[in-house]
């Protein structure tokens, strides 16, 4: 399969920075996921071949990391943190509100493919809890009103669309 030139450049550089081929697996999976949208069977086989691993080796790593996915996400992947700082400051209310507003649950995608939703562990924005991330865009100090505004911004196509 063919990735972009940018992917190939990053992949080649990483191979020089790590002691073994296997060490570049996680960043390679992340770059591939960003490019393809999810880690399909074809992507897994390609990366396994390049790194001299079995498909099962790669799938075992994918299953460990919640940010890696084998099924397509929505165009905008909403990840709501419910870890301790966010939980204490209303993270579950934010998650519940997102579920209600989008009409989907954890790891589900809206019928139009625009949004997907995930409950995630700490995203490193504890000081500004509760927080969520849409693709690679952080949103913090959330309230349900703020969540509504954020989701509408994406619905109108005015948010970042990089996965
Ligand atoms: S606990 Fe939610 S960002 Fe850290």
| Span from the CA of 140 to the centroid of ligand 1 (angstroms) | 10
What is residue 66's three-state secondary structure?
coil
Residue 163 pLDDT level (bands cut at 50, 70, 90): very low
Could you tell me if 163 and 77 are in contact, meaning their C-beta atoms sit under 8 angstroms apart?
Answer: yes
Residue 10 pairs in a beta bridge with: none
Residue 157 pLDDT level (bands cut at 50, 70, 90): confident
Testing ligand 1's pocket by substitution, the residue of 66, 80, 123 carrying the most ligand atoms inside 8 A of its CB is: 123
| Span from the CA of 124 to the centroid of ligand 1 (angstroms) | 5
Residue 109 pairs in a beta bridge with: 116
Could you tell me if 22 and 28 are in contact, meaning their C-beta atoms sit under 8 angstroms apart?
Answer: no
Could you tell me if 93 and 119 are in contact, meaning their C-beta atoms sit under 8 angstroms apart?
Answer: no
Among the atoms of ligand 1, which is closest to the Cα of residue 130? 2
The string of pLDDT tens digits covering residues 3-27 is 999 999 999 999 999 989 999 999 9
Among the atoms of ligand 1, which is closest to the Cα of residue 91? 2
- The pLDDT, as a whole number, for residue 66 is 81
| Span from the CA of 94 to the centroid of ligand 1 (angstroms) | 13
Q: Measure Cα distances from 160 to 20, 49, 83 in Å.
A: 35, 33, 25
With a Cβ cut-off of 6 Å, ligand 1 is lined by: 81, 83-86, 122-126, 129, 131
- With a cut of 60, say whether residue 161 has pLDDT above it: no
The string of pLDDT tens digits covering residues 26-78 is 999 999 999 999 999 999 999 999 999 999 999 999 999 988 999 999 999 99
């Amino acid at each position: 399969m063919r990735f972009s030139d940018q992917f190939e450049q990053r992949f080649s550089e990483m191979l020089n920075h790590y002691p073994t081929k296997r060490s570049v697996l996680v960043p390679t999976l992340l770059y591939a996921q960003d490019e393809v949208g999810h880690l399909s069977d074809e992507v897994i086989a390609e990366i396994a071949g390049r790194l001299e691993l079995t498909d099962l080796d790669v799938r075992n790593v994918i299953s460990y990391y919640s940010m890696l996915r084998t099924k397509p996400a929505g165009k905008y992947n909403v990840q709501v943190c419910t870890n301790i700082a966010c939980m204490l400051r209303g993270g579950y209310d934010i998650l519940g509100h997102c579920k209600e507003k989008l009409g989907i649950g954890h790891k589900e995608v809206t019928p139009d493919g625009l949004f997907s939703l995930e409950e995630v562990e700490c995203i490193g924005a504890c000081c500004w809890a509760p927080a969520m991330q849409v693709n690679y865009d952080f949103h913090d100090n959330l309230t349900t009103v703020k969540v509504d505004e954020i989701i509408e911004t994406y619905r109108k196509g005015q948010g970042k669309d990089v996965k």
